[in-house]
Chains A and B, each alone.
Chain A
């Protein structure tokens, strides 16, 4: 298995609170991604990073921010959580932008009440 750790694995919080999810990799891969999975939608890209301090928006980036200060860590922040952000969040890593597949962590289940 690719060395990807997501924390926390489960979180319940209230609307309006800030939430930060962490993705940690031990593979020294350049690319890191945050997805959310919702019923009927598959996985949708929130933000991605192509290097330290280099990030860009994905398909569903509104309400989310990210930071990558070290190669191994990619943080996803919900500044003020809303109930529509209740989802399962997956982090993925990729070695380069060639034909390497992305490998996923085991996800964080986030519930916002």
Chain B
């Protein structure tokens, strides 16, 4: 049973518009959430994170929103740029000896020029 779900395998957005990527989780023990970006033939790159004590975290064009009651988080990219085209993974971790990450299956974002 997947504890972290990204239900949209792909998303296309026009350059300059907002990209919204969504992620749902089922494990109420998760207290730290991350977004990673992955280009082909490279490893995932950390993008932004949020702790469960917050509901929003912002870093430049990237904002992550957390709705704990709905067990839902989203990543907003404004404005979207062609270089943002990549696979985006959300991940979650909870209290534990090594803070293992549980990943969603990823969303392929394509930003059209």
Contacts and interface: CB of A to CB of B under 8 A. Distances in A.
B74 interface: no
Interface in B26-62: 32, 34, 36, 41-46, 49, 51
Interface residues of A, number: 28
Interface in A50-91: 50, 56, 58-59, 90
Q: Which bucket holds chain B's interface residue count?
A: 20 to 34
B46 A101 contact: yes
Nearest to B4: A42
A8 to B, nearest CB: 14
A56 B89 contact: no
B26 to A, nearest CB: 15
A43 B44 contact: yes
A99 B101 CA distance: 12
B100 interface: yes
B43 A90 contact: yes
Given A31-B99, A43-B101, A102-B46, 5 more contacts: A42-B89, A43-B91, A56-B98, A90-B44, A101-B34
